Amino acid sequence: DIQMTQSPSSLSASVGDRVTITCRASQAISNYLAWYQKKPGKVPKVLIYATSTLQSGVPSRFSGSGSGTDFTLTISGLQPEDVGTYYCQGYNRAPPGTFGQGTKVDIK
Amino acid sequence: EVQLVESGGGLIQPGGSLRLSCAASDFTVSGNYMSWVRQAPGKGLEWVSAIYREGWTYYADSVKGRFTISRESSNNTLYLQMNSLRAEDTALYYCRGVAAPPVDYWGQGTLVTVSS
User: Taking CB atoms and an 8 Å limit, are A98 and B35 in contact across chains?
Assistant: no
Chain B residues close to A101, C-beta within 8 Å:
44
Q: Is A99 on the interface with B (CB under 8 A)?
A: yes
Burial of A104 (0-12, 13-18, 19+ CB in 10 A): middle
The pLDDT of A35-48, averaged and rounded, is: 95
The tens digit of pLDDT for each residue in A53-96 reads: 999 899 999 999 999 899 999 999 999 999 999 999 988 776 77
Q: What tens digit of pLDDT does each residue of B5-21 get? A: 999 999 999 999 999 99
Residue contact B47–A99, C-beta within 8 A: yes
Helices (H) and strands (E) in chain A, counts: 0, 10
Contact A97 B106 (CB under 8 A): no
Distance of residue B53 Cα from the nearest chain A Cα, in angstroms: 12
Closest residue in chain A to residue B48, using alpha carbons only? A98
Predicted local confidence at residue A2, as pLDDT: 82
- pLDDT of residue A97 exceeding 80, the answer is no
CB contact under 8 A, B45 and A46: no
From first CA to last CA, the distance across chain B in angstroms is 40
pLDDT, averaged per 10 consecutive residues of chain B (116 residues), comes to 97 98 97 96 95 93 97 97 98 94 91 97
Antiparallel, parallel or unpaired: β B18-25 and B110-114: unpaired
Beta strands in A1-97 (DSSP E): 4-7, 10-13, 18-25, 33-38, 45-49, 53-54, 62-67, 70-76, 84-90
Task: Report the relative pairing of strands B10-12 and B110-114 from DSSP bridges.
Answer: parallel
Q: Which residues pair with B37 in a beta bridge?
A: B47, B94
Q: For residue A35, is pLDDT > 80?
A: yes
- B56–A43 C-beta distance less than 8 A: no
Q: How distant is the Cα of B18 from the closest Cα of chain A, in angstroms?
A: 22
- Residue A8 DSSP SS3: coil
Q: Do B45 and A43 touch (CB under 8 A)?
A: no
Burial class (CB in 10 A: 0-12, 13-18, 19+), A5: middle
